[in-house]
């Protein structure tokens, strides 16, 4: 067997149904906090206030200004509230935007985090933070970023709109796909990644057809956890580099961008990642993994073209520049002609091409 290194991130996970009423208070009590702050986006402020009703034993506050791509100015505003209220614990209720804000605060304060994901983004399972400033998104990893507790309450995903369920789920699959050909890939993570892809690829079509299907929602949330665990354990490659560049440069929606880029990034790397292709194909029941991911997105009604997200065609030049400026490791060498072809097909919404 090829030598490998595997590092498990320390995190306490509660997975189940109807957990919100009791589990959050239990975790706040367990860590000895007195003044937790609930973080949400403006759209989920009412959910945050509902959660606060279960935390009346504590001096609870709410910050509802989380924004996509974790802008530094938003983090600094939240930090003012944290200092003023003497917050001693962060409770992130929401998707990647909210969990990212909690991570950004924790990086600066080392406050304890309780993450309660309501999407399949998987950010809660990683020690990775991406922040945006002046149109550029940068990432870093630190033990201070990793949430100490994750509460997966399947009930919270039942109201997740089918369209967002689809893109959030494929965004999660992207973590596992790149984990399979990561420079730090190892047998343990490969098992986790493959199972995560299988769970999501089977659960997403079911929940799109029946959004109230609790078993399908459970499978998707379980898969998202596994895919997020993959993201948190190994490095990523060109797919994530491109998505971060696109998000930072054009403020494109996170999960939709990942959904569009994934099949093309896998096709770009395909000649160099035969084992990953085999595992993805096995999980999805296909012999053409890039095309299967593209067709999965189409079958779920998810976007397949960057132009439909508002990206201008001339923006391809900017993304190529950013990709070469700060290069990620990638199994396939970065070649400008191939990279432009990838981005053009993704912009137009064409199927992926293995060249």
Confidence of residue 7 (pLDDT cuts 50, 70, 90): confident
- 228 Cα distance to chain centroid: 7
Pair of tokens at residue 21: 């009423």
Confidence of residue 135 (pLDDT cuts 50, 70, 90): confident
Asked if residue 204 and residue 325 are part of one domain, the reply reads yes
Average pLDDT, the chain: 95
Q: How far apart are CA 234 and CA 256, in angstroms?
A: 23
**Within a domain: residue 215?**
yes
Give me the percent of the chain exceeding a pLDDT of 90: 92
**Cβ 185 vs Cβ 179: under 8 Å:** yes
CATH number of residue 104's parent domain: 3.40.50.1970
Asked if residue 243 and residue 257 are part of one domain, the reply reads yes
Q: How far apart are CA 263 and CA 291, in angstroms?
A: 7
Distances (CA, A) of 348 to 50, 120, 269, 354: 42, 26, 20, 17
Q: In what order do the strands lie in the sheet with 113-117?
A: 12-16, 149-153, 113-117, 89-94, 36-39, 61-63
Give the pLDDT confidence score for residue 52 in this predicted structure.
Answer: 97
Tally of CB atoms within 10 A around 307: 15
Give the pLDDT confidence score for residue 341 in this predicted structure.
Answer: 97
Range of the domain at 187: 162-348
Q: How far apart are CA 80 and CA 36, in angstroms?
A: 15
Asked if residue 270 and residue 335 are part of one domain, the reply reads yes
**The pTM is what?**
0.90
Of 115, 140, 157, the domain-final residue: 157
pLDDT digits (tens, 9 = 90+) for 8-61: 888 999 999 999 999 999 999 999 999 999 999 999 999 999 999 999 999 999
Give the pLDDT confidence score for residue 287 in this predicted structure.
Answer: 96
Q: Is the pLDDT of residue 1 over 80?
A: no
Taking residues 119-128, report their average pLDDT: 91
Could you give the number of structural domains in the chain? 2
Among 117, 243, 224, 239, smallest CA distance to 172 is for: 224
**Cβ 16 vs Cβ 26: under 8 Å:** no
Q: Is the pLDDT of residue 3 over 90?
A: no
pLDDT digits (tens, 9 = 90+) for 95-106: 999 999 999 999
Residues in contact with 335: Cβ distance below 8 Å, sequence separation at least 6, in sequence order: none
- 267 Cα distance to chain centroid: 21
Confidence of residue 137 (pLDDT cuts 50, 70, 90): confident
Which H or E element spans position 281?
helix 274-284
Of 157, 187, 219, the domain-final residue: 157
Asked if residue 297 and residue 184 are part of one domain, the reply reads yes
Give the pLDDT confidence score for residue 193 in this predicted structure.
Answer: 98
């Amino acid at each position: 067997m090829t030598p490998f290194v595997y590092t498990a991130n320390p995190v306490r996970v509660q997975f189940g149904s109807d957990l919100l009423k009791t589990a959050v208070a239990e975790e706040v009590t367990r860590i000895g906090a007195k003044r937790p702050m609930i973080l949400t986006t403006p759209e989920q402020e009412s959910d945050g206030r509902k959660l606060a009703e279960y935390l009346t034993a504590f001096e609870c506050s709410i910050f509802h200004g989380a924004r996509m791509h974790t802008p530094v100015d938003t983090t600094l505003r939240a930090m003012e509230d944290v200092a003023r209220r003497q917050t001693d614990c962060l409770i992130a209720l929401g998707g990647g935007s909210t969990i990212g804000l909690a991570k950004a605060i924790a990086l600066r304060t080392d406050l304890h985090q309780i993450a309660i994901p309501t999407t399949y983004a998987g950010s809660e399972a990683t020690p990775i933070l991406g922040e945006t400033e002046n149109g550029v998104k940068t990432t870093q990893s630190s033990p201070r970023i990793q949430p100490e507790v994750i509460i997966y309450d399947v009930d919270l995903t039942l109201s997740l709109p089918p369209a967002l369920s689809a893109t959030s789920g494929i965004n999660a699959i992207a973590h596992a796909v790149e984990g399979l050909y990561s420079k730090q890939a190892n047998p343990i993570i490969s098992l986790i990644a493959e199972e995560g892809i299988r769970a999501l690829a089977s659960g997403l079509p079911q929940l799109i057809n029946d959004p109230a299907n609790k078993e399908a929602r459970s499978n998707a949330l379980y898969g998202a956890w596994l895919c997020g665990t993959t993201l948190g354990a190994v490095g990523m490659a060109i797919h994530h580099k491109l998505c971060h560049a696109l998000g930072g440069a054009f403020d494109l929606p996170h999960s939709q961008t990942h959904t569009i880029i994934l099949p093309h990034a896998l096709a770009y790397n395909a000649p160099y990642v035969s084992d990953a292709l085999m595992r993805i194909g096995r999980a999805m029941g296909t012999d053409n993994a890039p095309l299967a991911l593209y067709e999965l997105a189409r079958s779920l009604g998810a976007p397949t073209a960057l132009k439909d997200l508002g990206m201008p065609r001339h923006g391809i030049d900017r993304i190529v520049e950013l990709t070469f400026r700060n290069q990620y490791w990638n199994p396939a060498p970065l070649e400008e002609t191939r990279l432009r072809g990838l981005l053009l097909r993704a912009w137009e919404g064409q199927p992926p091409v293995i060249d």
